[in-house]
Amino acid sequence: NAGVTQTPKFRVLKTGQSMTLLCAQDMNHEYMYWYRQDPGMGLRLIHYSVGEGTTAKGEVPDGYNVSRLKKQNFLLGLESAAPSQTSVYFCASFPTGTGRREQYFGPGTRLTVT
């Protein structure tokens, strides 16, 4: 059971470049989330998904797009990276139904935009 994994772990982009961050979970969780973590600001929700084929905006969605084509994967895209998107990105998943209802986090992706 790998839990929640994120690819890549680190990335450096130039302004204007695009990239996709991949989040995968093997726990059959319905809900998945993308957060960004910035010093002094905690974690802020970018986008989330409550099931395969669905996505919704969070607190700071501008400049990002997401897709949830398969239940186990949640992709975060940056179409035209900006220095303000330099951050650590965390993915999380959450089970519905009974059992231990908590968000499970991935290890993070450290992104630098120059």
Residues that bind another protein (CB under 8 A): 4, 31, 33, 35, 40-45, 48, 50, 56, 58-59, 90, 92, 94, 101-103, 105-108
The pair of structure tokens assigned to 7 is 């690819």
Cis preceding linkage at 95, omega within 30? no
User: Residue 42 or 99: which CB sits closer to another protein?
Assistant: 42
Q: Does residue 83 contact residue 99 with C-beta atoms inside 8 Å?
A: no
User: Residue 44 or 71: which CB sits closer to another protein?
Assistant: 44
CB of 82 to another protein, least distance (A): 23
Distance CA 94, CA 53 (A): 16
